[in-house]
Structures are given as structure tokens and as C-alpha cells.
Copies of this chain bind each other. A is one copy, B any other.
Amino acid sequence: MSLQPYRSPSTGREVRAVLFDTFGTVVDWRTGVARQAAAFAAEQGRELDAEAFADDWRALYQPAMEAIRTGTREFTTLDTLHRENLDQVLRRHGFDPERLGAETLEELNKSWHRLPPWPDSVAGLAAIRRRYIVGPLSNGNTSLLLDMARSAGLPWDVIIGSDMTRTYKPLPQAYLRTAAFIDLSPGEVMLAAAHNNDLQAAREAGLATAFIARPMEYGPGQTADLAPEGNWDLSASGIPELADLLGA
């Protein structure tokens, strides 16, 4: 264990906080949503391709945020966007949301609050936390990230939800306002993410960057984000390896 914090070659600063993209990087949203959607379908006595349901729901995520990023819609939490998208996804899979109770829909929407961590996440975060501040840097709202942390056992020091920065990645303010809340320069903050476009935006905002490979995020047929596509500061096959690279 080295005594100095890791110094980012790209920012020239010692890293003080390592913040993580969550959906896909820390938690396995596809398995988690599919499992809960399958349980929902079983309760309704219906068949469902649960993995396709999870993929379809996730596919509506970026377009829903885009209206907010471009300013055509006021900031709205991810919980609300997920809830709106749920109606569409249910219809596509043969369910009529109008005939389901509000509580059932709300419960299904909370699937995103109860996602399993990747097997290495909790131990890796605990290791990094010994020497660095750790937290999410996610498009999730605070209550979603809080429930996720309690259910998955994620040892965050601090949770800064997108409802606190009131913007969505990859807009620069999402990264910059998060760094400002913890009173660090952007260059003292590292984003760790499984998505090259997120890392690109973080780098443009002045953050240090680490790629974490999650080749099963989209299931066995995944074709994107299998490897780092930029000269990110660090690249690791999981969070414990990132801990090693950071000297934690």
C-alpha cells in the first residue's frame, strides 16, 4: 500500500474521491429488473420475456432524459421517468397499465431501487473507501440511490443524486456540481464507469477517469463497451482491481 494518493496523469492532481456510475458499473440492472418483472408476471398469472422487458425499459432511459438535457422539459426525477416509461413497456409486452393498481405499478417501478451488486462491487468499494471518498455519480435520484445502497450493501460515504445537481449526465454540470458539493476540484475526482461515453464527458469536464469492464451488462450478446475506447487514466476488470491500481 503506497502512502500517496493516486495522481491522475490527465488532471495532474491527486485523486481524493472515486465516484461511480451505478447502473451497469456497480449494480446489475438487467438481472435485477428481469427478476422482479418475472415475479410481477407470475403474480398476474402471465408469461413474460423478462430479459427483453428489462432491455426495453432500459432503452427508454436515454430518450426520456434527453428532453430534460435539451431544456424542453423541466428537471424531473429518474423515478418519474421510469414510471412514465413503464406504461409503454407494459403495453409492448401485452399488459394494460390502466388495469393494474397504482400500488402494483409503483412497486414494479421500485425495481430500480433494488438491484443486485456485481459480485465484486461491495468488497471493491470497501477497499477503495479506506483511502478515498466513495460515492455514486449516477443519473439516479437520491432516494433511489439510497434504497439501492441499503439493499445492495454499498458502503457509500455520500450520495449526491441527480435531483441535487438537477441535471443529467453526460452534461458537464452533472460532474462539476457533484465535485462542488464535496468541495473538490474536478481533477481531484475520479469517475469510474463501464461506459466510454460517460468517461469521455467526465474527462471533458476535467475529472480523472477509470474504465471498469462489465461485459455482461447487456447479457451474453453485448457488443458495446467491451473495452476502454479512450486513454483513460486507469482500466480494470472489476472494482477490486481498481482498488489495487489506486493503491487502496
Contacts and interface: CB of A to CB of B under 8 A. Distances in A.
Q: How many copies does the complex hold?
A: 2
Interface string A193-237: 000000000000000000000000000000000000000000000
B157 A181 contact: no
A163 B143 CA distance: 18
Contacts of A164: 164, 181
A142 B161 contact: no
A183 interface: yes
Interface of A: 79, 133, 141-143, 146, 149-150, 157-161, 163-164, 181-184
A39 B105 CA distance: 58
Given A133-B150, A150-B133, A161 B143 contact: no
A237 B150 CA distance: 28
A142 B141 CA distance: 17
22 contacts: A79-B183, A133-B146, A133-B150, A142-B158, A142-B160, A142-B181, A142-B182, A142-B183, A143-B182, A143-B183, A143-B184, A146-B157, A146-B182, A149-B157, A149-B158, A150-B157, A158-B159, A159-B159, A161-B181, A163-B181, A164-B164, A164-B181
Nearest to A129: B150
A57 to B, nearest CB: 20
A150 B143 CA distance: 22
A53 B183 CA distance: 26
Contacts of A182: 142-143, 146
A79 B143 CA distance: 26
A97 to B, nearest CB: 21
A158 B146 contact: yes
A121 to B, nearest CB: 17
Kindly name the residue among A149, A158, A159 whose own CB sees the greatest number of chain B CB atoms within 10 A: A158
Nearest to A182: B143
Contacts of A159: 158-159
A169 to B, nearest CB: 18
